[in-house]
Every structure is written in structure tokens, then in C-alpha cells.
Amino acid sequence: MKLRTFPPYLILLLCLAAVEAYGHQVADTCMMTKLVVKRLPDLNMPRGGHNTLFVNGELTVVGGHTSGFVPTPTAEYLSDGQWHLLETVYAHDHGFSLPTRSGRVLLGAGHEKPLGIGQVHHVEWYDPVAHTFDGFGCLDIRRVFAQAAELRDGTIAIGGNWYHHDSTEIFRQPQHFATKREVSLQRCFPFIFPTSDGDAIIMGNIGTRGENYDYPTIVDRIYGAPFDVQLLAEWRPMINQAEQRTADFCISDTAAGEYAYLMPVLNRNEEAAIVLVRDTILSLLPTTISAPTEGPWGRISFMFLAVDRKTTRAYLVGRDGELRFYVLAVEYAALLMPDGRLRPSLPDNECLPARLYYTDPQTSFGNITPVVTDEGDIAMAGGVTDNNFTPKSGVCLLCIGPHTDDGTASFGQWLWLLCTMPVAVALGVFLALRLHRRHEEVMLEMQEEEVEPQDDETEGDLLSRINQLMEEKKLYLQNDLKVADVSEALGISRRSISECIMAHPEYTSFAHFVNGYRVRHAKELLRLHPGMKIITIGLESGFSNEQSFFRTFKSFTGMTPREWLAQGE
């Protein structure tokens, strides 16, 4: 195949037109800057379901479970370039942690046994200066997947549970825990936001047995009556299986009596955004760019939020199927007045500046709460990628602090430089990009032509081969399975495989075809292991997260996994 050549004047016109078109794209779309990822020493043991904190100037991890899904009564802190192992009083696997104004950290709840079974009453204090732990009492209700928040008067509100009754309780020092009231919705991993009147609001859409409420607008309070927030009919709190602390989302000066937080949310299209929570008022933050759902390497799922009050930045953190991490950095300084107090509102039509970052694929750490260090970088330690039985021990810094912009240009910045260079240089770059892209297209076309199916092979024959491969190799258990993987295994072009699947009236896409296998596998696990945790069934069936599992299972069956199991099908 021969490449076409163009007259010089036509190339110049094309170059200028492309520069103008791309210039508009720079203003309207999300350009990405590559992040440097710094590897820190590994944890002493792999961990999942633990709490990650940055306290007393030290990166610290507490509790969780290690290999084999076994809870570990230990903690570690990073100092002098190495992790120092500590013994806790209790094991807190999927428990909560709360740094308090006293300087100590309250630790509580967790699974009673290995494999994520049961709940506990356990609570203890961690002193990050002395590196000591002190067990002192017990929760009024045994809990796991709970949250805690410190109210204005120092009282601590606690809520949320998993496979056990949920209600709110309060803790007043020195050791008094008492149930306060029932909640309108039973929740796990609720968001608890203190308010300036000494109360707190509680929201979330995941029930205590993993059921996904359909965008409930009701919000509970510790002391006041429940109320509705219509914004929650369109945007639901971004709940995940990592131990996030709503206290880390605070952007206001609570000592001055102001209580304002940022909250990550998702809409029905799985698009991520940030909501400002100020007392009982919730409002969507307008940003110059939105969190993308698709990237150059596939779908992006945003899962976490981290807030850096020093730099007035909020970070939405997500990843794609190839384990690249993405960070949408939002500058929220416009929400504050020069003295640091909150503005009554944003000026009309003002959007908060935002910028998107990405990393190379990261396999040493998994999905776990990100925390911001004193240097403004994002730390992630341990976590789970595939399942709770094989947690990670890697620790990394996403170097996004103030030094990130020094000498690091985004794609948009480089394009701006390109537009200001002499025409000759711009022309050279343009031609090089065009030729490179065309070369890749030609090579791809040649590869596609070389692996077309045999003339005598029908679509039915090819579909049978694809089904046989899926059933024998169980490729659907890979949560990042792509058409290219099947193409490589069968020696057939990606186009032929996609067209074959789409031609079948039962399937709407390759993803729909694969999800059918995953749902059937999940049904089998539900039948054989009715006591297995729903999230474990989803992950072991090839789904990347709990939300995807619930959404897909219900789209195939019309029921949640628990509802389907109860039907006895």
C-alpha cells in the first residue's frame, strides 16, 4: 500500500487548518499530563481493607487483612525510609479510622473472622506521636464498613454496617457509646458530614447487604429530622470498598465554625463529578473540564477523592482496565475569600480550573484510599486489584505536588508552543505526526488483512469457536478482557470477531457478550456458595467493581443478586 504525497502549498494549508482546529480542541477538551510515579518501600506485609492515613508527618497504615483474607492486628508507619511494624490491640479489617482534634486517631469496627465474616464492637486509640495503641471500650452495635465523624462539640458520630443492623450512635469521651436513633435507610460506607449547628448529615445509596438504592434523595441527621435533596436524584455519592474518611474532604476552617466538604458523585452514565456540601445544602461544582469516562486506553472509572487544603486542590482518582491511574485536579480556591472563609456562592458562570493527569500502568498497588502528603503528593499503599485473597504490598507516590508543573508540559501546553513556533517547525511536526499515524494505520490494515477468517468459515462457525474459547479458557474472568485478547487467541481479526458477535441478535456488543458469561458464572457461585459476600462473587466472576456487577446483573435478570438468590432460580 503506497502513501499519498501532497503539494507543499496544500500541506501548509492543512497544517494551518489543523492548528486552528486543534486550538479549539485544547480549549474545549481534557488534555492529559503524565504523572511521575515514585515507588516507596513495600509494606512489611500485603494488605487490603486497611486504613491509610498521613498523621504526625508520617504515612501510616492500620489493620486490614493480609494474604488469604486473614485479618491482621498490626499497623505500620514509614520513617527514615522504612516501614516500622506495630501491634494493634485489635484487628480492624474494613474498620474505620478518625483523626481527632485531640491528635489521637480513633479506630473501630471490622470483620470478626477471616474471609470477611462477621462484625466486631472493638475500638481503640492510636497515638501517632508515641506510636502506641490503647483499647478502651466497645461500640454499642457491632459494625463493619462503618464511618465516623467528629462533631462540633467533640462528640463522635458513627454509622453504617454490613450484614447487620445499621443505626447511628454517638461516642462521648472517655468511653461512652450509645445508640442515638434509627436511620431512614440502612447503609454501608455512609458519608457523614458534620454541620455548623452541631449536627451531622448522613447519606449514601448502598444498603447493608450490598443492595443499590436507586438514587435515594433522603438524607438522615444525627439529631434533626431526615430531609430530601433533589440533587441526589441525579447524582449519587461515590461509595467504594475502600476506607475513605469524610473528614479528609473538609475545605473549611472548622475552628471558625464553618463546615464545608467536597463529595465525589456519579450519575446514571457513571460520569464523575464533585459536589460542595455546606451544612444541609448540596451543589454541583462547575469545572472547566469534566472527568472523562473514556481515555486513550479504554474506559476510566473514578473511585476516590482526596483534598489538599494547603494547595486548595481536590483530586478525583480513578483507573482504567490496564491499571493506569487518572487524577482530575480541581482548583477550588475560588470557593474561598482571601481570609480563608467560604464565599456565599461562586460568581455566575464561573468554572473551577481543572486538569487531568495520568500514569503508566501500575501493578504494585491496588484500589485503596489515597491520602495527601505534606509535600502535596498523593500516596497509595497496598490495596486490592483482583480479589481480597491476594492484596498488594506496594507503596507509591503520585507526584502531583507543586513541583509537578515545573518543567512538565501537558499536551495542551505543547500544542500552544507548537502554534507559536515558526511555520517551518510546525509543518515538520505536523508532517511527522501525520506520517506516523498513517504508518500505524497501514500496519494495522495489513495485520487485519492477514488474519481474516477462512472463506469457508461461516459466522456460526466462528461464533462457536469464540464460545468454545470462552468456556475452555474462562477468559471472561479477566475484568479487562478486550476483543484484541480473543483476536490473538484465535488468530482472527478484531473486526471479524466484533462483526460476528454483533450479527447475533442476542448480543449488542462484545462487552454484552462477555457479561453474559460473567452473570452465568455469578449465578453458579450464588447457588453453590449462598453465604459468600456479594462483592467477592462479583470480583471472582470478572467484574471490576461492585457497582458494575450490580448494574450488569440487574440488566440481565431484572433483579439484584440477593433478590435472584431469594427467588431460588
User: In this predicted model, what pLDDT tens digit does every residue of 261-275 receive, in sequence order?
Assistant: 999 999 998 999 999
Q: Examine the pLDDT at 568 and tell me if it is beyond 60.
A: yes
Domain CATH number, residue 558 = 1.10.10.60
CA proximity to 75, closest of 108, 83, 67:
83
Same domain, 492 and 436: no
Q: How many Å apart are CA 32 and CA 53, to the nearest integer?
A: 28
Residues 14, 38 share a domain: no
Is 469 part of a structural domain of the chain?
A: yes
- In this structure, are 404 and 309 located in the same domain? yes
Mean pLDDT of the region 44-73: 96
Residue 508's pLDDT is: 80
In a domain, 373, yes or no: yes
Domain containing residue 437: 8-28+415-450
Task: Inform me whether the pLDDT recorded for 443 exceeds 90.
Answer: no
Tell me whether residue 282 is in a domain: yes
Asked if 373 and 392 sit in the same domain, the reply is: yes
HSE value, Cβ hemisphere, 13 Å, CA-based, for 211: 16
Residue 474: which residues within 8 A CB-CB, separation 6 or more?
none
What's the whole-number mean pLDDT along residues 21-50?
76
Burial of 316 (0-12, 13-18, 19+ CB in 10 A): buried
Residue 45 has pLDDT above 50, yes or no: yes
* Closest C-alpha among 462, 457, 448, 459 to residue 495: 448
Task: Provide the percentage of residues in the chain whose pLDDT is more than 90.
Answer: 59
Largest CA distance in the chain: 83
**Rounded distance, CA 527 to CA 550, Å?**
17
Instruction: Tell whether 372 and 392 lie within a shared domain.
Output: yes
CB count, 10 Å around CB of 271?
Answer: 14
Q: Give the pLDDT of residue 122.
A: 95
Q: Do 262 and 387 belong to one domain?
A: yes
Both 372 and 272 in one domain: the answer is yes
**298, 264: one domain:** yes
Task: Tell me which residue of 98, 375, 108 sits closest to 247, measured CA to CA.
Answer: 98
Pair 422, 276 in one domain: no
**3-state SS, one letter per residue, for 364-392:** CCCECCCEECCCCCEEEECCECCCCCCCE
Asked if the structure places residue 95 within a domain, the reply is no
Give yes or no for a contact between 157 and 200, defined as CB atoms under 8 angstroms apart: yes
Prediction pTM value: 0.69
* Residue 251 confidence class, pLDDT cut points 50, 70, 90: very high
Using CA of residue 154, residue 189, residue 275, residue 218, what is the dihedral sign? Answer: negative
Residue 101, Cβ density class (10 Å: 0-12 exposed, 13-18 middle, ≥19 buried): exposed
Q: Is residue 77 in some structural domain?
A: no
Is residue 374 domain-shared with residue 288, that is, in the same domain?
yes
CA atoms 520, 386, 269, 360: torsion sign: negative
Q: Where are the beta strands (DSSP E) in 226-377?
A: 227-228, 236-237, 260-266, 272-278, 281-284, 294-295, 298-308, 313-320, 324-331, 354-361, 371-372
Query: Of 430, 450, 470, which residue sits at a domain end?
Result: 450
- According to the model, what pLDDT value does residue 411 have? 43
167-215 confidence digits (pLDDT tens)? 999 999 887 899 988 999 999 999 999 999 999 999 999 999 988 898 9
Residue 59 covered by a domain:
no
Q: Is residue 516 part of a domain?
A: yes
The answer as to whether 117 is a domain residue is: no
Cβ-in-10-Å burial (0-12, 13-18, 19+) of 113 comes to middle
How far is 441 from 434, CA to CA, in rounded Å?
A: 10
Q: Tell me, what's the pLDDT at 121?
A: 95
Q: State which of 376, 408, 440 marks the end of a domain.
A: 408
Are residue 518 and residue 441 in the same domain, yes or no?
Answer: no
Q: Are 467 and 382 part of one and the same domain?
A: no
Residue 395 has a pLDDT of 97
Identify whether the C-beta of residue 208 lies closer than 8 Å to the C-beta of residue 166.
yes
Record the cell numbers describing residue 494, joined without a space: 478484531
* pLDDT over 70, % of the chain: 84
Average pLDDT, the chain: 85
**pLDDT, tens digit (0-9, with 9 covering 90-100), for 511-522:** 889 999 999 999
- How many structural domains compose the chain? 3
